[in-house]
């Protein structure tokens, strides 16, 4: 199974792949942390935090834990005027609101895809041009690792 376009966006374990055609859905804590710091500096970390919470929910097995986590995600990111409300369309928000009483581990998939696309088109390209990213690149080059961009 090849990763989807959305999965290819997410930071790779080795930041030499970030921004290239080899960029995959796998990421390390270090690369993810760098992206999170960047988003926090832009006051837009709710998007990555929502995406990560959805990924965690997908790994949850018991119905009780799914309900607890889904309600937390809903209250923090989805409901109108949520403390860290993500920017999704009304239709998607309404569908989630109607179904939150019986949540599944995939109940936020549509919203997660929208947020992923938003980050892929907006904040991730800015991250790749940022000082945060340049510093990460410089550290890897100073550690004797080859340049990760194909040019």
pLDDT in tens, 129-138: 998 888 877 7
Question: Which pLDDT belongs to residue 142?
Answer: 67
The pLDDT assigned to 29 comes to 64
Question: Which region among 78-82, 99-103, 146-150 has the lowest average model confidence (pLDDT)?
Answer: 146-150
- CATH for the 5-142 domain, from 3.30.1060.10, 3.30.70.2860, 1.10.167.10, 3.90.960.10: 1.10.167.10
| Structural contact between residues 84 and 46, judged by C-beta atoms closer than 8 angstroms | yes
Q: Confidence band (pLDDT; 50, 70, 90) for 28?
A: low
pLDDT digit string, tens, across residues 54-91: 999 999 999 999 999 999 999 999 999 999 999 999 99
Would you state the pLDDT for residue 55?
Answer: 92
pLDDT at 12: 43
Residue in 28, 97, 100 with CA at minimum distance from that of residue 57: 100
């Amino acid at each position: 199974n090849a990763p989807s376009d959305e999965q290819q966006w997410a930071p790779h374990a080795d930041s030499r792949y970030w921004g290239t055609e080899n960029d995959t859905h796998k990421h390390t804590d270090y690369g993810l942390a760098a992206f999170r710091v960047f988003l926090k500096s832009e006051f837009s970390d709710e998007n990555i935090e929502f995406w990560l919470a959805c990924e965690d929910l997908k790994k949850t097995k018991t119905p009780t834990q799914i309900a607890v986590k889904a309600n937390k995600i809903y209250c923090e990111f989805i409901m109108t005027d949520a403390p860290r409300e993500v920017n999704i369309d009304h239709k998607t928000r309404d569908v989630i609101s109607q179904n939150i009483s019986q949540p599944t581990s995939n109940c936020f998939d549509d919203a997660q895809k929208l947020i992923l696309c938003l980050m892929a088109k907006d904040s991730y390209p800015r991250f790749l041009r940022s000082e945060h990213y340049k510093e990460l690149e410089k550290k890897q080059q100073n550690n004797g690792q080859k340049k990760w961009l194909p040019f």
